[in-house]
Amino acid sequence: MVRDELHAIQPAIKATIEDAVRNVLSESVCSKEDVEHVVKSYADAARTAQKNVIEEAAVAQSSKKVVESVVRQLDADKVEREKRKFNVVVLNAPEPKKELAPEDKKKEDLKFCRSTLGIPAKDIEVCWRAGKIDESKPEYCRPLVIKLKDEDLVNEWSKDGKGHKTASGHWINKDLCAADRKANFLSREARRKRTQKKD
């Protein structure tokens, strides 16, 4: 937008410079060619200044968009963390039988939490499956998300976010937002590379 506006006023700038030069320099002192030369010099200088303004505006606009995007993402991550702060997640927890009614599936999942994972019923607020069933992957089990009563229980069952392996061999981890999962992945990758260098 800034670029378009500056290009649009170029003819007005040139005309203003021509009038100013003609008013200051009489024809006896300055020929028509001199006037045109001076006007061209001013026009070149004006174009350079315009280019700088356009570049600075583009950088500022780009930087502003980046900052706004980052701030929006940070806000979204904060909301996601808040929503998940009482949750733990279990991978590879077997899916209840397909033929069961939705309420019976929930009962089966709650039973799995109590009997297999060993989480007392009094500590569980609710549990559900994340995502949709993929008919093309019959062996795939959706993550089981368990909302516990408070954050202390989350820390207890996830070993302060490090993950807890139950006697049944299932891992219980904190339910992290996408940004935190990515950060954890990058941290593990960096640690793995450091370990490989030592070997």
Q: What b-and-e string marks burial along 146-176, b requiring 16 or more CB atoms within 10 Å of the CB?
A: bbbeeeebbebbbeeeeebeeeeebebbbbb
Q: Residue 185: which pLDDT band, with cuts at 50, 70 and 90?
A: confident
For residues 95 and 186, the answer to whether their CB atoms sit within 8 Å is: no
Predicted confidence at residue 33, as pLDDT, reads 62
| Average pLDDT estimate for 3-22 | 60
Residue 7 has pLDDT above 80, yes or no: no
Q: What b-and-e string marks burial along 37-54, b requiring 16 or more CB atoms within 10 Å of the CB?
A: ebbeebeeebeeebeeeb
Burial class of 194 by CB neighbour count within 10 A (0 to 12, 13 to 18, 19+): exposed
Q: Residue 24: which pLDDT band, with cuts at 50, 70 and 90?
A: low
Cα–Cα distance, 133 to 122 (Å, whole number)? 29
For residues 95 and 134, the answer to whether their CB atoms sit within 8 Å is: no
Question: Is 6 or 158 the better-scoring residue by pLDDT?
Answer: 158
Give DSSP secondary structure letters for 91-110.
Answer: SSPPPPPTTS-HHHHHHHHH
Question: Is 85 or 180 the better-scoring residue by pLDDT?
Answer: 85
Q: Residue 173: which pLDDT band, with cuts at 50, 70 and 90?
A: very high
| Average pLDDT estimate for 171-198 | 86
Residue 140 has pLDDT above 60, yes or no: yes
User: Residue ranges per domain, the chain?
Assistant: 1-52, 84-191
For 64, the token pair is 């502003």
Cα–Cα distance, 181 to 184 (Å, whole number)? 5
Question: Is 68 or 92 the better-scoring residue by pLDDT?
Answer: 92
Q: What is the pLDDT of residues 59-89, one digit of tens each?
A: 666 667 766 777 788 888 899 999 999 999 9
Q: What is the pLDDT of residues 38-58, one digit of tens each?
A: 556 655 655 565 566 666 666
The percentage of the chain sitting over the pLDDT mark of 90, rounded to a whole number, equals: 40
Predicted confidence at residue 155, as pLDDT, reads 95
Predicted confidence at residue 28, as pLDDT, reads 47
Residue 131 has pLDDT above 70, yes or no: yes
Predicted confidence at residue 77, as pLDDT, reads 87
Q: Which CATH architecture has domain 84-191?
A: 2-Layer Sandwich (3.30)
Predicted confidence at residue 137, as pLDDT, reads 84
Cα–Cα distance, 157 to 108 (Å, whole number)? 20
